[in-house]
Amino acid sequence: MKYKSIMVLIFGAALVSCNSTKKENTEPEAPIIGKSNVKVENSIMTPEILYSFGRVSDLQVSPDKSKILYGVTYISIDQNKTNRELFTMNVDGSEKKQITQTPKSENNAIWVKGGAKIAFLSGESGSSQIWEMNADGTERMQISNIEGDINGFSYSPDGNKIMYIKNIKFGERTSDRYSDLPKASGRIIDDLMYKHWSEWVEEIPHTFIADFDGTKISEGIDILGDEPYECPMLPFGGVEQLAWSPDSKTVAYTCRKKKGLEYALSTNSDIYLYNIETKQTSNLTEGMMGYDTNPVFSPDGKYIAWQSMERDGYESDKNRMFVMNLATNEKMYVTENFDYNTDYLAWNEDNQSIYFVSCVEAKTHLFQVYIHTKEIKQITKGDYDYESFGIAGDKLLALRHSMSKPNEIYSVNIVSGEATELSFENKEILDQLTMGKVEERWIPTTDGKKMLTWVVYPPNFDPNKKYPTLLYCQGGPQSTVSQFWSYRWNLQMMAANGYIIVAPNRRGLPGFGQEWLEQISKDYGGQNMKDYLSAIDTMSKEPFVNTDKLGCTGASYGGFSVYWLAGNHNKRFKAFLAHAGIFNLEAQYLETEEMWFANWDLGGSFWDRSNTIAQRSYANSPHKFVDKWDTPIMITHGERDYRILASQGMMAFNAAKLRGIPARMLIYPNENHWIAQPQNGILFQREFFRWFDTYLK
């Protein structure tokens, strides 16, 4: 689920000034994880090959627009670890160079000092610090020495200050109250939001501003002071929620200034301006009631843009783009005539337009909006997803992926939209693989609409054969089935194992207008389930689909979908597999942490008998249909999942076994809503196919 604390005492972070710079010990402390030399057998993808791809991320264009800095994450299945290295290349793709090779990951890498240096984070967990090095990777030098981890940073435009993110202690510990019980593990909890996604909330991020003399930073000033609020916001916020003004005098930051029960019930965050000299803070978005996030100043400092959701408590509301004239405080809703989300905003150097990405009809592309006329131009087209980008004159340098190819860097002509690949990180592996055909189908729904459904065919597909077929149910619930590339729910790898994959953009997904997106709210088990069945029923009419060998799988809301369909599929399917799904909606309402999500999507609490909308939601809980379960089901879940507790999966497994239905459970004591550790990921893939192969082949 895409469900996007409060204790007693708040303590400021303990900070230690840098008294001296420190050069890093370059002696390897562990085997260095780097690029794999993979030999592919029979041109077919396997879980091990999937984990051999280099994961390209976070491209940064140099100040003179001549070079690209980016990172690649490599995985060692044997070591059960990942490692991220840094690369540079010219904007035309030439002179590609790996500039780090260490056992410690380098993250948050940016160009500084006019492009002469690169700053980055490096260090073990608990001691990640800011480092600088030459643009060629030589002369690494530590410039911060802050107690604990630095989680992100950015330099002021004038280079005299550094803004960094660091967790501070949040709430009272048992040992604070009872000093004679230092080893007691119990947590004393007095309010809501005591857990979030995968962690007990005992720390929260704060943002600090530190002076920088060019070689070391001084002790930072916490811009929130003693306020017990997150900045940036948990669970996913980072430096994109902070911004320097071009004159280095102001910081814009994102914050939801709420705590406890109020925090658990509201998504109302705001954009604040913090004056570096006066230490005064002003609220730019007061009265705007939903999420306001990710501020970006125009190059001339006259405007600020940000993303804004309208309604409090609705985390999947339309992500609108707003711009404010900082001289007049006039707000402009610049994407008012655009019925889609806007993400990853970047100002054009003319100060009159903004580039962004948006998912439209299950493909995520680059767009440009002119702030005064509200004219929107689509730059790129095709069956791809663009993820992020940097501006280099008449080009955009962008990360792009598809269902058949992981992230690579492309140069995009702004006028024509023509894209040229530059990085070729995974060419050697991709050249050895045969990918299945990906087909776009528009399938009629039960209420007379058309639904885009992706169909992925096995490599070397033969239309004269009959194939087992899997219905893929998307999570979120409001997350698009676009041209996504996944390292767990990889549709090409499912197809490579001999399955046809049917992946519908059912009701409740973005990219098809707000009406299509919002229909699912308060209608769990309703029209979107009919959409799933429309997709699989339409494909079942094809002669190459073996209707006696249909399976169904999904995670999160997709897991809920699997559980619901298990009791309502009328014997269509022969096997199910659910990961991290909701089985019992009444239990979920009280087990989850972000209550605004449950209240919005379900309509309210289950004990409010007068609330007919909420009662309809709970009447459609999958556990209410267990008496109709008749099909083998496998369940996977992580015990550190605090969004949808592992007890949901255990209940479903127990129900199946008690009813005499073949069932298997794969439980992870040390994973959360996702599966992050490499060997656990491989285990998931192997068991996934062992299960479906048993019943569908």
- pLDDT > 70? residue 58: yes
The span from the CA of 106 to the CA of 439, in Å, is 38
**Of 149, 270, 601, 641, which is the active-site residue?**
641
Mean pLDDT of 356-379: 98
Per DSSP (E only), the strands in 342-437 are 343-347, 353-360, 363-370, 376-378, 385-392, 395-402, 405-413, 419-421
423-474 confidence digits (pLDDT tens): 999 999 999 999 999 999 999 999 999 999 999 999 999 999 999 999 999 9
The answer to the question of residue 530 being in a domain is yes
Chosen domain end from 270, 296, 324: 270
pLDDT given at position 83: 96
Share of the chain above pLDDT 70, in %: 96
In the residue annotation, 401 being an active-site residue is answered as: no
pLDDT category at 23 given cuts 50, 70, 90 is low
175-203 confidence digits (pLDDT tens): 999 999 999 999 999 999 999 999 999 99
pLDDT, averaged across the chain: 94
The answer to the question of residue 638 being in a domain is yes
The span from the CA of 244 to the CA of 295, in Å, is 9
The answer to the question of residue 293 being in a domain is no
Per DSSP (E only), the strands in 450-566 are 450-456, 467-473, 500-504, 545-555
506-559 confidence digits (pLDDT tens): 999 999 999 999 999 999 999 999 999 999 999 999 999 999 999 999 999 999
Mean pLDDT of 86-109: 97
In the residue annotation, 176 being an active-site residue is answered as: no
Mean pLDDT of 344-358: 97
Bridge partners (DSSP) of residue 252 are 243, 273
pLDDT given at position 8: 27
pLDDT given at position 687: 98
Chosen domain end from 220, 238, 270: 270
The span from the CA of 51 to the CA of 682, in Å, is 8
Residue 533 structural domain: 434-696
The answer to the question of residue 292 being in a domain is no
Give the C-alpha distances (Å, rounded to integers) separating 38 from 74, 324, 618.
13, 51, 49
The span from the CA of 135 to the CA of 211, in Å, is 23
Specify the DSSP element, H or E, that contains 689: helix 678-696
- pLDDT > 60? residue 642: yes
**Of 206, 569, 623, 673, which is the active-site residue?**
673
Chosen domain end from 270, 298, 316: 270
Number of domains in the chain: 2
The answer to the question of residue 464 being in a domain is yes
In the residue annotation, 641 being an active-site residue is answered as: yes
* Closest-CA residue to 9 (of 248, 204, 275): 204
Within 8 A by CB and 6+ apart from 619, the residues are: none
CATH of the domain at 489: 3.40.50.1820
* Closest-CA residue to 457 (of 490, 480, 491, 429): 491
The answer to the question of residue 319 being in a domain is no
**Of 298, 402, 556, 621, which is the active-site residue?**
556
The span from the CA of 157 to the CA of 245, in Å, is 8
The span from the CA of 21 to the CA of 132, in Å, is 10
